[in-house]
Structures are given as structure tokens and as C-alpha cells.
Amino acid sequence: MYGFVLLAKYFDLTYNTFILYHLNDLMIVPMVLTLSLNAVWIVKNDRSIRLGWFSILSIFLMYSLIFEYYLPQTMSRYTADWYDVLCYFMGAIIFYFLQKLP
């Protein structure tokens, strides 16, 4: 999906602005949390472990603060966008419910 978004931007293809500018933000938190959960499963050798709300909200807050507060103040390449924060939050909620599936 990330590659698709990059190609669409590179070739200047007109797609929905949500896909071009927010899809990656929606996907990053579930991807990081999935990798984290898999690491916990490997270390603990227990696939019944699930991440709690505190862990999920910590990752959400980390991404929000770093990419939407700190980096826009220090580097011109980054811009603060509340829609990105909303996407991070929606991704956290999506992960929370998806991890409950068997």
C-alpha cells in the first residue's frame, strides 16, 4: 500500500486525497503494533498475549507527538496535521479490535 501511494505521488496520478495523504498514517500504528505483538509472542513463547490499551495508546501518543508536534517544529519537511493524529488514533482502534480475533 505504501508503495502504491508513493507511485501515485511520483506519477502525479489523481486519487482521493485521503489515499494520497492519510492512508500511510492510518496504517503505520497497526503495523508497528503488529510487529511489537509478534516480538512479544516470540520472546514470551505465548501467542495468547494481547497488547493492552496502555501499550496501544503509548504508541499512538508517541507517533502523534513526534510526527505532528516535534518534527514540524524542527524540520521544514514535516507539517503538523490534525487529520494525521486522527488517522493514528483510528489505526490504534483498528488494531485493538483486530488483535482480539483468533
More confident residue, 36 or 17: 36
| Domain that includes residue 61, residue range | 2-98
The predicted structure's pLDDT at residue 83: 93
16-30, 62-76, 87-101: range with lowest mean pLDDT: 16-30
* Three cell numbers written together for 3: 508503495
Q: Any idea what DSSP says for residue 70?
A: I
More confident residue, 19 or 40: 40
Average pLDDT over residues 18-37: 88
**Does the pLDDT of residue 14 top 70, yes or no?**
no
Instruction: Give the C-alpha separation, 68 to 78, whole Å.
Output: 8
The predicted structure's pLDDT at residue 22: 83
What is the domain count for the chain? 1
Angle between helices 53-65 and 82-98 (to 10 degrees): 160
In sequence order, what DSSP letters do the residues of 6-45 get, joined into one string? Answer: HHHHHTT----HHHHHHHHHHHHHHHHHHHHHHHHHHHHT
Hey, how many other C-beta atoms are within 10 angstroms of the C-beta on 91? 23
Q: What is the pTM of this model?
A: 0.84
